[in-house]
């Protein structure tokens, strides 16, 4: 059988976050990252967004493993929802795997440790059709790795989030020698980070940033409230160092954040001097000028927590006069408005704000020059700009063309695109798409909220709801009681008596017309009421509230209803074949669990003899 190579763009292009890509070699699929993104203001009430899980439904039996580049949510955030239903082996560095376990355990208490495998930059994993190796990269979290899929046509390289910083600490430094080694083996395709492609000037080094953070702490007179991302361990270490250098103690807020810090300390990725950390009860006895509050917020969003502090709605902390709020993260363009609103609230509460991103150009992602340097080093045949919004991908493409790549060798993809490699023509071409839609997480529901629900939520936020209740006698084909109407978020009822009165007449007319001209049908009757009300209300107010007609019925055969209820109870208590009652499954995670077909693989350490053990995972 002829070799087959496919590159699947499952998620993470034309957007920020939710990174997930895949490389298929013959009948094995290697998934690269499995992240989430936090919703913008258009996704009403949605907690997080993850890639389309239908991919695993369709291709799960071919998935050999999920390979992680680093421990941020945009790389590991979808794992809890994938592993809830599919038993797929997961590979990552020690810190990445530990952070992934924290994420998975939060959503699924039954953590299967056997699915997680720790690798490092010197690991090579042999599968039936391909092998996987790794290389060190620089990012804002330690032990970040790039991934190389060795295929019959050459190397497919995925960078994950990366940048170049020669002054980075050893745990954060890119292995340039390894990149040069990969180039000698012929790079077929490069999937490269585009998040910071429009930045041309180099980011400030982490050494400069640590000095800057310490200076901010020295100049502060009162409490310092630091807003940072929990998984940005580089920034967390800088905050801890600055607190120690200025004689302050640090309060960590958030249970998950404390777990991340403890895990990083245990593995040696964070250095925390004895006595530096304090508990909530110590706030009362610690002077303001000796206090640092490190706030990461729920699900990695510190801005919402800052707003609660400023509005006196936070469970523990309230911003007061003399506080300095230090936003130690560079916000994306999508939340700049929220940053401005948050800053305004802080000033109203008596505090002041310093934003690291305004004083220093910093990012955990490659600048335009970094991207060109990577292309010069690896010399890929084809480039797939990934991880970034559309304009950033286009900028990345133009940067690649300036390095000498041909325009037709750079692919601007969209989620769901699948590229097949033609060995004869030596080119990639688009083939049948793969699942690439968003899966929205709302509370404990996975994918329960779709576009229709979101549209209704948007209408509710704009124009409110209009409720109409009417009781009918179907046999006599008449309205038993005058319809009752009410609204919320639509109009002020006391000032719109005529509108309410006229809407009742619209309801009565719609029901009587249905009785006279149509064969009775519950769905059609409600739809008639809804349509007529929507037209009437829009004509009168130019608003389109969500109209909910509630039609009730009287004078029905009570005995028949009671008999039906009795039959339902009997069905619910029907015994199974073994003589015991059938039990309904209450746990969402226990339903439809699928064990993916195990694949044979073995880990090979470079510069050492291959292990003899073959693992069936």
Judged by DSSP in three states, 275 sits in coil
**How close are the terminal C-alpha atoms of the chain, in Å?**
26
Encoding tokens for residue 303?
A: 């801005």
Do β-strands 324-327 and 20-25 pair in parallel, antiparallel, or remain unpaired?
unpaired
436 vs 401: CA distance, rounded Å = 28
Strand-pair partners of 542: none
Closest to 314 in 3D by CA, of 346, 339, 282: 346
559 phi/psi in degrees, rounded to 5: -60, -40
Judged by DSSP in three states, 187 sits in strand
Element (H, E) at 243: helix 233-245
Q: What is the DSSP string of 202-218?
A: PPPPHHHHHHHHHHHHH
Determine the length of the chain.
617
Closest to 377 in 3D by CA, of 152, 164, 195: 164
Q: Residue holding tokens 């608003």?
A: 543
Specify burial of residue 343 (Cβ count, 10 A radius: 0-12, 13-18, 19+).
Answer: buried
| Residue 286 is assigned to a ligand binding site | no
Judged by DSSP in three states, 206 sits in helix
104 vs 115: CA distance, rounded Å = 11
Q: Count Cα neighbours of 431 within 13 Å in the Cβ-side half-sphere.
A: 13
Judged by DSSP in three states, 90 sits in strand
| Residue 364 is assigned to a ligand binding site | yes
| Residue 333 is assigned to a ligand binding site | no
C-beta of residue 49 within 8 angstroms of C-beta of residue 84: no
| Residue 365 is assigned to a ligand binding site | yes
Closest to 406 in 3D by CA, of 428, 433, 432: 428
**What strands lie across the sheet with 382-386, from one edge to the other?**
382-386, 187-193, 154-158, 145-151, 131-136, 123-126, 600-605, 615-616
| Residue 186 is assigned to a ligand binding site | no
Binding residues: 361-365
Binding residues for substrate: 361-365
């Amino acid at each position: 059988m002829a070799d087959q190579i496919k590159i699947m763009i499952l998620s993470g292009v034309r957007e920020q976050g939710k990174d997930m890509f895949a490389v298929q070699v013959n009948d094995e699929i290697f998934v690269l990252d499995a992240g989430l993104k936090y919703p913008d203001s258009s996704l009403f009430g949605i907690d997080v967004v993850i890639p389309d899980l239908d991919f695993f439904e369709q291709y799960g039996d071919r998935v050999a493993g999920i390979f992680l580049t680093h421990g941020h949510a945009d790389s590991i955030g979808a794992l809890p929802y994938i592993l809830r239903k599919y038993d797929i082996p997961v590979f990552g560095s020690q810190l990445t795997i530990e952070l992934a376990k924290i994420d998975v355990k939060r959503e699924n208490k039954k953590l299967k440790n056997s699915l997680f495998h720790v690798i490092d930059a010197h690991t090579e994993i042999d599968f039936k059709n391909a092998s996987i190796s790794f290389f060190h990269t620089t990012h804002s979290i330690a032990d970040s790795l790039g991934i190389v899929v060795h295929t019959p046509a050459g190397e497919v390289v995925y960078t994950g989030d990366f940048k170049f910083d020669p002054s980075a600490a050893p745990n954060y430094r890119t292995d340039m020698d390894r990149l040069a080694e990969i180039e000698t083996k012929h790079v077929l395709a490069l999937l490269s980070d585009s998040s910071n492609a429009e930045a041309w000037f180099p980011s400030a080094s982490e050494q400069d940033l640590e000095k800057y953070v310490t200076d901010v702490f020295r100049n502060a007179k009162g409490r310092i409230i630091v807003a940072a991302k929990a998984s940005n361990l580089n920034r967390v270490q800088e905050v801890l160092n600055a607190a120690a250098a200025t004689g302050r103690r640090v309060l960590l807020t958030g249970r998950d954040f404390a777990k991340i810090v403890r895990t990083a300390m245990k593995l040696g990725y964070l250095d925390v001097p004895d006595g530096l950390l304090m508990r909530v009860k110590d706030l009362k006895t610690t002077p303001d000028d000796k206090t640092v509050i490190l706030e990461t917020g729920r699900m990695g969003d510190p801005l919402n927590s800052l707003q609660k502090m400023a509005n006196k709605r936070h469970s523990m902390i309230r911003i007061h006069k003399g506080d300095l709020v230090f936003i130690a993260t560079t916000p994306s363009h999508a939340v700049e408005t929220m940053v401005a609103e948050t800053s305004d609230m802080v000033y109203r509460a008596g505090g002041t704000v310093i934003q690291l991103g305004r004083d220093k150009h910093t990012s955990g992602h490659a600048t335009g020059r970094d991207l060109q340097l990577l292309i010069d080093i690896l010399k890929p045949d084809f480039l797939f700009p990934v991880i970034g919004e559309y304009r950033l991908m286009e900028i990345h493409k133009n940067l690649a063309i300036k390095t000498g790549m041909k325009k037709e060798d750079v692919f601007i993809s969209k989620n769901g695109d699948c590229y097949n490699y033609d060995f004869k023509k030596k080119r990639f071409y688009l083939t049948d798409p793969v699942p690439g839609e968003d899966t929205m997480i709302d509370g404990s529901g996975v994918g329960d909220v779709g576009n229709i629900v979101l549209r209704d939520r948007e209408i509710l936020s704009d124009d409110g709801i209009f409720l109409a209740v009417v009781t009918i006698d179907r046999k006599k084909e008449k309205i038993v009681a005058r319809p009752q109407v009410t609204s919320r978020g639509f109009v002020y009822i006391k000032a719109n008596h005529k509108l309410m009165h006229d809407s009742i007449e619209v309801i009565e007319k719609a029901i009587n017309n249905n009785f006279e001209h149509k064969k009775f049908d519950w769905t059609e009757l409600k739809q008639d009421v809804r349509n007529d009300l929507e037209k009437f209300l829009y004509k009168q107010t130019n608003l389109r509230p969500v109209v909910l007609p509630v039609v009730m019925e009287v004078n029905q055969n009570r005995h028949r209803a009671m008999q039906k209820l009795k039959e339902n109870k009997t069905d619910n208590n029907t015994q199974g074949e073994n003589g015991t009652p059938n039990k309904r499954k209450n746990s969402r995670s226990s339903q439809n669990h699928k064990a993916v077909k195990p694949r044979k693989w073995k880990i090979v350490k470079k510069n050492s003899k291959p292990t003899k053990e073959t693992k069936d995972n």
